[in-house]
Amino acid sequence: MERIRFGRTDLKVSRIAMGGIPIMRLSKPEAVRLVQRVLDLGVNFIDTATGYTDSEEKIGEAIRGVPRETLVLASKSPADDRTTFLQHLDRSLKRLGVDYIDIYQLHNVSTRKRYDAVFAPDGAFEGLMEAVKAGKVRYPGFSSHSVPLAIELMKTGKFSSVQLPFNCIDTEAEDVAVPLAKELGIGFIAMKPMGGGMLDNASLAIRYLLRYEHIVPDPGIERIEEMKEIVQLVNHPTPLTESEWKKIESLRKEVGSEWCHRCDYCQPCPEGIQISSVLSVKSFLKRMPLERAYQFLNETMRKVPSCTECRTCVSRCPYDLSIPELLKKNLRIWDEALKALNPGVNT
pLDDT 10s digits, 225-250: 999 999 999 999 999 999 999 999 99
Is 265 annotated as catalytic?
A: no
Question: What mean pLDDT do residues 49-56 have?
Answer: 92
Question: What pLDDT is recorded for position 323?
Answer: 95
Q: What's the whole-model pTM score? A: 0.83
| Cβ proximity of 112 and 80 under 8 Å | no
Q: 14 — phi, psi (to 5°)?
A: -65, 155
Annotated active-site residue in 52, 104, 115, 208: 52
CA distances from 319 to 45, 265, 340 (A): 28, 10, 33
CA distances from 46 to 68, 201, 216 (A): 13, 22, 11
Domains of the chain with bracketed CATH: 3-247 (3.20.20.100), 275-338 (no CATH)
pLDDT, greater one: 305 or 255: 305
| Bridge partners for 104 per DSSP | 75, 140
For residue 140, name the pLDDT band (cuts at 50, 70, 90).
Answer: very high
Q: For a pLDDT cut of 90, what percent of the chain falls above it?
A: 76
Question: What pLDDT is recorded for position 257?
Answer: 67
219: left (phi over 0), alpha (psi -120 to 50) or beta: beta
231 CB-near residues (< 8 Å, 6+ apart): 1, 16, 41, 42, 43
| Bridge partners for 188 per DSSP | 162, 215
pLDDT, greater one: 133 or 261: 133
